Amino acid sequence: MEAPKMRVLILGGTTEASAIARHLAQDPRFAVTLSLAGRTSNPAAAPGLALRVGGFGGSAGLARWLAEEKIAVVIDATHPYAAQISHNADTAAAERGLPLCTVIRPPWQPDPADRWQTVHSMEAAADALGTEPQRVFLSIGRQGVGAFLRAQQHSYVIRSIEPPEDNALPPDTTVIQMRGPFTLEDEIDLLRSRHIDVVVSKNAGGAATYAKIEAARRLVLPVVMIERPYKAGRHFVATAEEALDWLVARHAMSRSDRGV
Ligand code: NAP
């Protein structure tokens, strides 16, 4: 008789989550659902993978969903700045007694040539820009842009995949709608052509969005770096590969528990 598949929920929205999901979709030991918040349109699907889009309704809604779907294991591979969903995952998995693995890529570390000012919130980043008008590359995605309404003396360039809502934007804002990855040359060209004075960034970590940090270093531009929020979880790994190793070990444990 065929062994039952281990039912896995992957909380996604990152390259790591997509890589884990794509890999597991090919593995007959697992039945995988990839969950996305629904912030971007046209999420990429993969054969053999169940995709669900939209919130669960807090930790209680997530706990209910885990029970209904008979999920055995949760992998939280959400973005380092997605703190709420990780809190919900930790709470709901604990309530259901489920193992939880949280994938969090290591933050970037400043190079001696970098000119970073580290701050703890979007509001603090807006204040750190100072009183004199600056041309700011606001590389923080769509969310949180509203915090910069308090610093309307600056002009902003925002690049995001989906357009931000107009009423959240400071008056002097140019939106560039583009999807990465961007090369170092792309980023140097952007910072030069837009006459940028300062870059505001989250410390996302990883290679995919690092070119702008390197470009700022080359052009000797300051970077206001917004620190990561606290991310709840119990077992943390840094890469998709480590999460897969952890999952395979859980699968082996569950088989030996069942005496298979
Ligand atoms: P968040 O503040 O931690 O979560 C807000 C709410 O969005 C959650 O309470 C949950 O709603 C819903 N949600 C978040 N991630 C979800 C997921 N993977 N599946 C289903 N529902 C989800 O999250 P966020 O910062 O808005 O990020 C949203 C998504 O974008 C995440 O998937 C994240 O990985 C991705 N992302 C975020 C950033 C960033 O800078 N924050 C950057 C790149 C990608 P309910 O309470 O109703 O369940």
Q: In what order do the strands lie in the sheet with 235-237?
A: 50-53, 30-36, 6-11, 73-76, 100-103, 235-237
* Separation between Cα atoms, residue 143 and residue 160, nearest integer Å: 10
Say what the pLDDT of residue 44 is: 64
Q: What is the pLDDT of residue 1?
A: 61
Ligand 1 centroid to Cα of residue 11, in Å, is: 9
Pocket test for ligand 1, best of 14, 75, 84 (most atoms within 8 A of CB): 84
What pLDDT is stored for residue 153 in this prediction?
97
Whether residue 251 contacts residue 260, with contact meaning beta carbons closer than 8 Å, is answered with no
User: Which of 20, 40, 76, 79 for mutating ligand 1's site (highest number of atoms within 8 Å of CB)?
Assistant: 79
Radius of gyration of the chain (CA): 20
Residues framing ligand 1 (Cβ under 6 A): 11-14, 35-37, 39, 55-58, 61-62, 78-79, 81-85, 88, 141, 143, 202
Q: What's the CA gap between 100 and 66, in Å, rounded?
A: 12
Residue 55 CA to ligand 1 centre (angstroms)? 8
Place of tokens 């990855």: 181
What is the sign, positive or negative, of the torsion defined by CA atoms of 236, 238, 244, 246? negative
What domains sit in the chain, N to C, each tagged with a CATH number?
6-106+230-257 (3.40.50.720), 116-226 (3.40.50.720)
Atom 37 (ligand 1): residue with closest C-alpha? 79
Please state the separation of Cα 3 from the chain's center in Å. Answer: 34
Whether this model's pTM surpasses 0.85: yes
Angle at 120 between CA 129 and CA 81, to 5 degrees: 110
Can you tell me the distance from the alpha carbon of 16 to that of 238, in angstroms, rounded to the nearest whole number?
A: 9
Task: Output the CA 256–ligand 1 centroid distance in Å.
Answer: 35
Q: Nearest residue CA, atom 38 of ligand 1?
A: 79
Identify the pLDDT of residue 254: 84
Residue whose pair of structure tokens reads 């700022």 in the numeric block = 216
The pLDDT value given to residue 42: 60
Distance between Cα 37 and ligand 1 center (Å): 5
Residue nearest atom 31 in ligand 1 by C-alpha distance = 13
User: Mean pLDDT in each 10-residue stretch from start to end of the chain (260 residues)?
Assistant: 88 94 95 91 72 97 98 98 98 98 97 97 97 97 90 95 83 91 96 98 94 98 98 97 97 77
Please tell me the residue having the least CA distance from ligand 1 atom 27.
82
